[in-house]
Amino acid sequence: MEPENLADVVDAQLELARASSSGRHSVTLMGGRGSDLRQTVIALAAGNRLHDHESPGEATLHVLSGEVELTTATAGATLEPGDYLVIPPERHGLEALTDCAVLLTVATRADA
């Protein structure tokens, strides 16, 4: 059992996101094939976004650093460090208002 320091993960992912042509980078901390739960740190350089996409099912977003805006067809929410949001089960997108990192947790229902 080895603990993961999220501040170190955030720093590393932000550095990679800033250097990437897409302005983003991510690492899965846990989960994968055969797992019912997946947790991924996603870093976005300011002004970049995850374009609208379908909801992965039950999912939450925890802002680790920076500010983001999560939008759906009917609503939007600006989130800051420490904010936690249950992602609505509908098409949505995420925009980095500043350099940011979030922890995305998804229940994958691997055996479904």
Q: Look up the domain containing 74 and give its range.
A: 26-107
Token pair 């690492």 in the structure block, residue = 27
Q: Write the CA distances from 24 to 27, 32, 36, 88, 109, integer angstroms.
A: 11, 20, 25, 22, 26
Q: Is residue 36 part of a domain?
A: yes
Tell me: pLDDT of 64 over 70.
yes
Q: Is residue 10 part of a domain?
A: no
Q: Is residue 16 part of a domain?
A: no
Give the Cα separation of 86 and 68 in Å (integer).
Answer: 14
Q: What is the pLDDT of residue 34?
A: 80
Which is it for the CA torsion 106, 92, 25, 10, positive or negative? negative
What is the CATH classification number for the domain harbouring 66? 2.60.120.10
Tell me: pLDDT of 18 over 90.
yes
Total structural domains in the chain? 1
Which DSSP string do the residues of 31-71 spell out, in sequence order? --TT-SEEEEEEEE-TT-EEEEE---SSEEEEEEES-EEEE
| Range of weakest confidence among 9-13, 65-69, 72-76 | 72-76
Give the Cα separation of 44 and 14 in Å (integer).
Answer: 7
Does this model's pTM top 0.85?
Answer: yes
Q: Is residue 95 part of a domain?
A: yes
Q: Is residue 78 part of a domain?
A: yes
